Structure 1
Amino acid sequence: MDINNLSKRAQELWNEWEIRSLILLSLFLQILLIVIGNRRNVSRSQGGSGTNRINPTPNNIPAFWAPILLVHLGGPDTITAYALEDNELWLRHLLQLAIQASTASYSLFKSWGKDPLIYIAIPIFVAGITKYGDRVLVLWLASSKKFRDIQSEEVDTFQSKFDNKFPSVGFFDMSEEDLNKGLEFNNIIPEAVYLHEAHFLFQMFKIFYADLALSHSSHMESYLILRSKKKATDAFKVIEVELGFMYDVLFTKMTSVCSTRTILRSISFLSSTSALVAFSLMVANKCAYTETEVIISYILLGGGVVLEIYGVIMLLLSEWAMLRLSLPEKPWANAVYQAIYSDNNKRWERNMAQHDLADAQITKNGSAFWTMVINSLACKPTPKVCFLKLIGKDNIQSWEVISDELKELIWEYLIDKRSRYSHEMPQPDPGMNDLKEILAERGDYVLKKMGCLEEFRWAVVEIDFHGSLLLWHIATDICYHDDIHNNKVDANNQLCKMSRSLSNYMLYLLIELPNMLPKGIGEARYKQTGIQLTEFSTRWRSKETPRPHWRSEEFMKEIKNLESNVSMLHDACKLARKLQSLETPVKWRMISQIWVEMMTYAASNCGWKEHAQALTRGGELLTRVCLLMAHLGLSEQCLTTASTSSREAHDA
């Protein structure tokens, strides 16, 4: 075949299918986004100058395809922003809306009176403007400046609403029944109370996110809500629903079911449906387009209507709709709620990523490459881990389930931490508060409580957080393998498993999400220590059992002899030796609580913007812990009685 003829034929095919293929691709992407969005521009338009009802021009594209692209640019309800930065670019999207609307209008103007189906473009154009305008509005409302302005206006209203209902003292003596009555939860069906609790906490979360402060009575209400939970899993469940509300506000259009949104969605749906009906009637009268163009038009118009219906169904089944359905004095709505809603919220990851320094092979040039050492892991990498490796997430080696036992461990620690915090400012200096000291704890309180602070102070207080994290990570790993190898503990020991899981999770944050941890030189120190650990640990991997373990005694002896060359590793082994001198049950109770305390320290030192951005990745355990702390009053944004009085006096 002549190469020139082949090239000419390929060009003809492209000219014929350029717009068709791109607009079908646009529809496919819309379907993909709307389906996976709640898990987590185009070519030119040609006006018809030669179209007529008798002799259609094969290369003449239907003019109403142009505004369909405008509908697609509006995006699905499940995704408006892919990152928080997108919300700050709302003005750029507004400009893009103006440009795209002008382009579509120009295309319609060129085809006016020449295309028998031009009138179908009008309702499609209306639907496109509605959907795209709605997206710009949502982005604008979620932008940091507008978000803060809204919360600044609402914070006083929110706080005064509950300050008038609850006494300023005696919160600890308030019963759950009195609390529910004050918050108007007493008339809500029991199955839906947690939704309303989560929404109440969400209103506080918005204030935290806007970097504003809450009054004493407001955060005492959230404390009482959480304190009433019988199990840690119940407290985490409420927090996860709350995170879902915040995710919808920051990254989707599914923020509420109100009259304004109902009108906008109705306009969009009716416009898309009327366009499909009108096109069907005109096709019956034999329009001038080819069979291929008619089929594509049906796919585009029908697909648009289906996506509209799917979006409405998703909204009606969302927490926002269920929240309104379960309001008091709506018996019929309560029946519907109980019939259709499931509280099995699977929006968030129930796992935490794991990264073990001993299993990460670090090369001498400082680069880290991911590997799964079969001798040290019981199973092969999951498809999810392999996919993350493919896209560059080499530091995720596996996933561990956030078990109920781990939630209970975290919850008990937070309740104990909260019990040590007095909301009353010490006198006479109202500028001092023990809250700062409590939030600054990163292992030292646990050691002090167990009478070991002086012995281990150098590993928690006298070293930066990143260095302490690395020391305890390596020491935990050594103690774990050594105790298993010497039959001191069972492999299924809960404290051992939870300690190691938290250790690997915190190291994952250090390497993969350092912005969520206090500032430091963790990456450089990680690489240096990793190179040294790789060099020495491979010699002391025991292969005597089906599940191999460290022969830690030999390993630590060699590290001790090479102290001058491997300072960080030497300190970790020194820490491991001291830990091994403790009684086994005491040791693991201490290690597990130290890791929880280190995590709470990191959580309280992570900005809300970083926590919010983590929601696009399925949410982090660190974010749940931070929210729990804030709602318990363990946050500097929670004002004490004295500071609230000072603020009120200043405002007066």
Structure 2
Amino acid sequence: MGFAQAVQWWEAWQLRVLVLSSLFLQFFLFVAAIARKRRPPPWFRFLTWAAYLGSDALAVYALATLFNRHNDRHEEPVAPSAGLEVLWAPLILLHLGGQDGITAYSIQDNELWRRHFVIAASQIGIAVYVFCRSGWSGDGRLLRAAILLFVPGAIKCLEKPLALKKATATSIVNASDLLMVDAIEDEDNGGENGAAPERMDSLEAFVQAARQCVNEEAEGKNPLYFDVETNSHPYQLFVDLAHPYCIRLKNLQAMAAKKTGREDAHGRVRAAVSRAFDRFYTKHKASYGGLLRAVVVLLTFVVIGLFQERRRSRYARADVVVTSVLLCCTAALELVSASVVLCSGLPEPDDSVAQYNLIGCLARSKKKKHRRLRCLSRLLGFGHQLDWIGNTERRHRPSCRITKLVHDHVASGWTGYRDSGDDGKVAAADAGVSKGVETVNDYRQFNDCRGQRTLKREGLFPATAGGGKAIGESLSMPFDESVLVWHLATEFCYFDHVDAGGEATRYSRVISNYMAYLLFVSPGMLVPGARRKLFQAVYVELREMLKEKPWESEDEDDEEKVGKKMKKKKPRAMDEIARTIIQKVRDPPTRPCACPRAHRASADLVRKAWDLAHNLMEFAKKKVDEPEVGNGDNSKGKKIEPVDQAKKGDDWMWEVIQGVWVEMLCFSAGRCRGYLHAKSLSNGGEYLTYVWLLLSYMGMETMAERMQRTMELPAEGDPGALVRTSALDDDEEEEGKPTVTAPTGDSEAVTE
């Protein structure tokens, strides 16, 4: 086929190829909408992004081609295929409306709703023009079929920009105020489902009420509120707006319920994440969506019946086949889509915990194929993306148990130290150590803890109280450095110390690897100002340690004695690499370091990590030597086996490490902006969002409160209170400047 013949073929088949390609992209987007909640691989996300952008462009191109064909025929006789082609116009409008499960690909798409509205309006106008310019030759059935499809097609085409508008920050703020009106009125009226506390106009009042609520739930008394459901609208948290104190108390009671709070916490938070995803990225939260889907499905099957009754011999066979495929496939797609909207909905979001291990990254970099790919990717400028894809573990860890650890940590903040075990009993060693949050200062100190509370409970913080110097320094450095130091220290303790293999060991490493993952992949979510380069600098430092030969730290006269060591194979397994690094930092070279300052800084972090691990292991040994409190069997001559003693020390050490990591996880979650949490949902979400929502539901400090702290002055007012315009008559508004009153108990109005 020559070039001229190819051009001629394309002119004849152009519109058919475009509409069929548009149909194929809609099927792919439907599958992608279901899979994107389950943390799909990067290559699938790229295809989804390309299909999301290409589907709109392809639909617009198809309508433009249809417009040009009918615009060129105004002086020519109407072709028989014109009637069928006009039937394709409303189908293309349905495609332009997109799939219900993928209205927006990223959070930024919601702010482009005006552009989508203009595109939708212009394409509807083109479809109307095609209707007017086409000649129907008395074919009334096809005319009725096209009109039946055009109405829902135009509505669905306009539905997409409206759904995008509802997901913008401005719309969520306005909608949140309307949703909270009932909650404020319920608080004013004393509560519908139980006795509500007095109006809370300050953080101090909320802290006292929250502490009373948790204590009553823990003691099995009558709850403050009778309902045990959390607020089902978490959207305003994603725009950094706090719930009113009354809603926060109800959420706290539901999460602190003695029988169901701890066990149902993960499911409730996961449901909230799913609802937030539906609001930001789908049409599933549209109140009219189900009715429109049902109408579209019904009309599509009606059009299929009208088309089948029509005499089709007058049309080209290719056009008849294309029309049949378009109608049947569109009907099937709309039917399945309507079933998802009206019945089951999209699947629950992925709640696994991503993993990124620094030692494991070193082990993978030793492989030749990885080195070659890394060199090629760096030449092309994709080195960071390859490191992210290649070194992030594909097997993510389940997070339900970690959610329970976070729940226990926050609950112990309200009630005092409690054992983190499944039985929920108060630990004997911890009884009476802390009375929990009682004042605003206690409340803020608890929200600012990033390991100090666990170490203080065990007598390891501050250093003057019995803890080592390295332990205190590890919490006083910047948070990103602290995460790296504790991540390496956790690995050093795991590979160098006798491991009991308990749950604390497992989940300590899971949280440690997840925090390292956040630092490397999403440093902005870890903490504002976190430095990814810090992670890379430590990685380079560890890699240089593995390259150093053992004889480089010895005298030059002894080089011949160790010359045969050059032929030894480099370590590849994680345990061998970890032990090699431990040997390097345990026995550093005696020569002064002449390396650059940046290199020395990363080397200092590795050294501090070993000092921290060494302190923890030494205190574990001291814990073994401590006598049992209240154990009368020992006085009768019962001998404790050395293995049991070592296990006791290991269990204590890993409980401490686990407690520190849980506090660091909460510290990071409380300092991440709601916008970043919403943004991460487009790629499957981060487990940090689960922790963030759980902290909010359990009454912890929000980002807005933290940014508006008054250090010396009392925190007055409710930061989540509704701000509304006061008017004596709803039908009449006073001319001039409006008067705005905040429902915080003040009788004075603020006049602008």
Structure 1 position 521, deviation (Å): 4.7
Q: Secondary structure at the match of 2:322?
A: helix
TM-score computed with the length of structure 2 as normaliser? 0.69
Is 1:240 matched with 2:243?
no
In the TM superposition, what is the alpha-carbon distance from 1:537 to its structure 2 partner? 3.8
AA of the residue aligned to 2:99: P
Matched, 1:461 2:475: yes
Do the aligned residues in 2 keep the contact of 1:358 with 1:534 (CA within 8 Å)?
A: no
Letter in 1 for 2:216: D
Q: How far off its partner does 1:458 sit? A: 4.2
- Displacement of 1:101 after TM fit? 0.8
In structure 2, the CA distance between the partners of 1:177 and 1:300, relative to structure 1 (3 Å rule), is farther
**1:106 maps to which of 122, 126, 129:** 129
Question: Is 1:536 aligned to 2:545, yes or no?
Answer: yes
Q: What does the per-residue CA deviation read over 1:326-370, in whole Å, with 9 as the maximum and x for residues that have no partner?
A: xxxxxxxxxxxxxxxxxxx952224221111123249xxxxxxx7
Partner of 2:534: 525
Distance (whole Å) between structure 1 residues aligned to residue 573 and residue 334 of structure 2: 58
Distance change (3 Å), C-alpha of 1:554 and 1:212: closer
Aligned partners of 1:593 and 1:423: how far apart in 2?
Answer: 16
Which of 260, 272, 284 is residue 254 of structure 1 equivalent to?
A: 284
1:648 aligned partner = 744
What's the counterpart of residue 440 of structure 1? 448
**Pairwise CA distance, 1:177:** 10
**1:304 partnered with 2:357:** no
The answer (yes or no) to whether the contact 1:474–1:572 under 8 Å persists in 2 is: yes
Q: Counterparts of 2:412 and 2:696 in 1: how far apart (Å)?
A: 15
The CA deviation at 1:546 is: 11
Question: Among residues 457, 463, 476, which one is paired with 2:490 in the alignment?
Answer: 476
Q: Could you tell me how far 1:633 is from its partner in structure 2?
A: 0.1
Q: Quote the RMSD (CA, aligned, Å).
A: 3.6
Residue 617 of structure 2 corresponds to 580
Alignment of 1:127-276 (within 5 A): 127-161=152-186, 163-165=190-192, 166-168=195-197, 171=213, 172-173=215-216, 182-183=226-227, 197=229, 200-203=230-233, 205-228=234-257, 229-230=259-260, 232-255=262-285, 258=287, 260-276=288-304
Please, which of 598, 604, 607 is the counterpart of residue 567 of structure 1?
604
Alignment-mate amino acid for residue 28 of structure 1: F
Residues 392/424 of structure 1: CA separation in 2 closer, same or farther (3 Å cut): closer
Flag the 1:262–1:529 CA change in 2: closer, same or farther, 3 A.
closer
**For the residues of structure 2 that align with 1:7 and 1:424, how far apart are their CA atoms?**
79
- Given the two structures, how large is their TM-score scaled by the length of structure 1? 0.79
Q: Which residue of 2 aligns with 1:69?
A: 92
TM superposition shift of 1:214:
2.7
Query: What is the percent sequence identity of the aligned residues?
Result: 24
Amino acid across the alignment from 1:102? G
The structural deviation recorded for 1:433 is: 3.7
**Quick one: distance in 1 between partners of 2:241 and 2:96?**
34
Worse-superposed segment, 460-469 or 541-550 = 541-550
Q: Tell me the distance in 1 between the aligned counterparts of 2:387 and 2:130.
A: 40
Given the alignment, which residue of 612, 619, 629 partners 2:695? 629
Name the stretch that deviates more: 635-644 or 454-463.
Answer: 635-644
In 2, Cα distance between equivalents of 1:180 and 1:32:
50
Q: Please list every run of 5 or more consecutive structure 2 residues that lacks an aligned counterpart in the other structure.
A: 37-56, 198-208, 369-383, 417-433, 551-568, 594-599, 621-649, 707-713, 722-741
User: Given the superposition, is the C-alpha separation of residues 262 and 407 from structure 1 closer, same or farther in structure 2, using an over 3 Å criterion?
Assistant: closer
Checking the alignment, whether the CA contact within 8 Å between 2:360 and 2:574 is kept in structure 1 is: no
Mapped partners of 1:37, 1:651: distance in 2: 50
* Uncovered stretches (5+) of structure 1, i.e. residues with no partner: 186-196, 320-344, 363-369, 375-387, 427-431
Q: Map residues 22-33 of structure 1 onto 2, 5 A cutoff.
A: 22-33=18-29
Amino acid at match of 2:35: R
Q: Distance in 2 between matches of 1:576 and 1:244?
A: 39
Distance 1:292 1:545, change over 3 A: closer
Take 2:471 and 2:72, find their aligned partners in 1: how far apart are those partners? 83
In structure 1, C-alpha distance between the alignment counterparts of 2:89 and 2:221, rounded to whole Å: 59
Taking a change above 3 Å as real, the CA distance of residues 493 and 247 of structure 1, as seen in their structure-2 partners, is: same
Contact 1:424 1:641 in 2 (8 A): no
**CA shift for structure 1 position 635:** 2.0
Q: Deviations over 1:96-144 (max 9, x none)?
A: 1111111222222221445844543222221211112222221111111
Separation in 1 of the partners of 2:455 and 2:120? 59
The verdict on how the C-alpha distance between 1:641 and 1:287 changes in structure 2, with shifts beyond 3 A counting, is farther
Q: Residues 115 and 470 of structure 1: is their aligned pair in 2 closer, same or farther, counting only changes over 3 Å?
A: farther
Distance in 1 of aligned mates of 2:221 and 2:317: 68
Please tell me whether the aligned partners of residues 489 and 612 of structure 2 are also in contact (alpha carbons under 8 angstroms): yes
1:611 pairs with 2:677: yes
- Greater displacement, 438-447 / 541-550: 541-550
What letter corresponds to residue 489 of structure 1 in structure 2? D
2 CA distance for matches of 1:505 and 1:396? 10
1:58–1:91 distance in 2 versus 1, CA, 3 Å: closer
Whole-Å separation in 1 of the counterparts to 2:513 and 2:694? 22
| CA distance 1:573–1:178, change in 2 (3 Å) | closer
Indicate yes or no: 2:656 matched with 1:590.
yes
* Larger CA deviation: 70-79 vs 612-621: 612-621
CA contact (8 A) 1:50 1:57 kept: no
CA distance 1:651–1:610, change in 2 (3 Å): farther
